[in-house]
């Protein structure tokens, strides 16, 4: 943490130890308190953002491994129908962790703010576009891969293409079934879903709301009037970074650090994540173990 802190920031830190606000219903007639939080760590880059649900969410490398295997299976299936895949169906690359979570709480990198304001560096911006596969199918190829007609959306299962009947859900679903063989059927994006929910929970939490208010006061003292850190982040600054944008971004990061906004936000969301893990542990573990099966299957498929 910073060595010097304002009295209001100190008062805020004291309030963080008192999770008393009720946050709504967890079940019929049941209310949950805001969870107690752990250590508030200073966050200076995306590498500092580590959360409990991370272990239940596929990494970039794991997603690529599964997609590479999926692509091979789809291509083999399409070839059996006498067709060729036009472009890649399953993306061969995925955005990095920096792209996925680097701006989860807004701008945090002081050096980047001084260079590009609220914009991502060119390398990061290019990386953000890597999820697209570039598939541009013919109508017949679409029917085979998806199991549906591209225009009408009608089911094409059982129709003969190249003398071979289209499988249930097309080649894409057939590839999924092969990847999930021997125990991989329960894999899901449940960890990702919960991460979206815990973000919303944390943003409404009284301690994050108080930290945002402290950030807003700090920005006002620096000559900027914003009630939310998303306001300058989402502002249309024009085609290129200006001195005003860069100055605002630099002040923004400085105020975030002064009041520990991102550290508090991360600590609060981590507490909510631990709560949902405790409440959904069995389902999350089933999904994690199923993904391990898929990853083993993917390795075998790619190895041939």
pLDDT, position 9: 38
Quote the mean pLDDT of the chain.
Answer: 86
- Tokens 């891969």 correspond to 145
Average pLDDT of 244-259? 98
Query: Which of 247, 248, 250, 255 shows the shortest CA–CA distance to 215?
Result: 255
pLDDT digits (tens, 9 = 90+) for 254-278: 999 999 999 999 999 999 999 999 9
Rg for the chain (alpha carbons), in Å?
24
pLDDT digits (tens, 9 = 90+) for 93-125: 677 777 778 899 999 999 999 999 999 876 555
Average pLDDT of 201-221? 98
Supply angle C-alpha 48, 49, 51, rounded to 5.
130
Beta strand extents in 95-239 (DSSP E only): 160-161, 164-165
Q: Is 127 helix (H, G, I), strand (E, B) or coil?
A: helix
pLDDT digits (tens, 9 = 90+) for 3-62: 333 333 333 333 343 343 333 344 433 447 999 999 999 999 999 999 999 999 999 899
pLDDT, position 25: 40
pLDDT digits (tens, 9 = 90+) for 146-199: 999 999 999 999 999 999 999 999 999 999 999 999 998 888 889 999 999 999
Q: CA–CA separation, 6 vs 302, rounded Å?
A: 57
Residue 106 contacts residue 233 (beta carbons within 8 Å): yes
């Amino acid at each position: 943490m910073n060595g010097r802190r304002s009295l209001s920031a100190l008062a805020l830190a004291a309030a963080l130890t008192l999770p008393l606000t009720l946050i709504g219903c967890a079940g019929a007639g049941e209310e949950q308190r805001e969870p107690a939080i752990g250590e508030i760590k200073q966050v200076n880059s995306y590498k500092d953002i580590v959360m409990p649900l991370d272990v239940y969410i596929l990494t970039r490398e794991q997603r690529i491994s599964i997609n590479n295997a999926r692509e091979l299976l789809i291509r083999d299936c399409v070839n059996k129908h006498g067709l060729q895949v036009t472009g890649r169906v399953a993306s061969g690359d995925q955005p990095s962790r920096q792209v996925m979570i680097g701006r989860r709480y807004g701008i945090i990198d002081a050096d980047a703010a001084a260079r590009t304001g609220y914009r991502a560096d060119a390398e990061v911006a290019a990386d953000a576009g890597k999820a697209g596969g570039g598939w541009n199918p013919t109508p017949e190829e679409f029917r085979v891969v998806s199991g549906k007609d591209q225009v009408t959306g009608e089911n094409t299962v059982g129709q003969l293409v190249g003398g071979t009947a289209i499988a249930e859900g097309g080649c894409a679903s057939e590839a999924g079934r092969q990847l999930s063989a021997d125990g991989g059927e329960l894999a899901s994006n449940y960890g990702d879903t919960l991460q979206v929910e815990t973000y919303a929970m944390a943003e409404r939490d009284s301690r994050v709301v108080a930290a945002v208010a402290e950030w807003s006061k700090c920005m006002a003292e620096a000559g900027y009037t914003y009630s939310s850190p998303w306001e300058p982040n989402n502002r249309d600054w024009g085609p290129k970074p200006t001195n005003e944008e860069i100055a605002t971004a630099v002040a923004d990061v400085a105020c975030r650090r002064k009041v520990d906004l991102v550290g508090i936000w991360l600590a609060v969301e981590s507490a909510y994540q631990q709560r949902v893990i405790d409440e959904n542990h069995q389902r999350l573990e089933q999904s994690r173990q199923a993904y391990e099966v898929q990853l083993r299957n993917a390795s075998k498929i790619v190895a041939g």
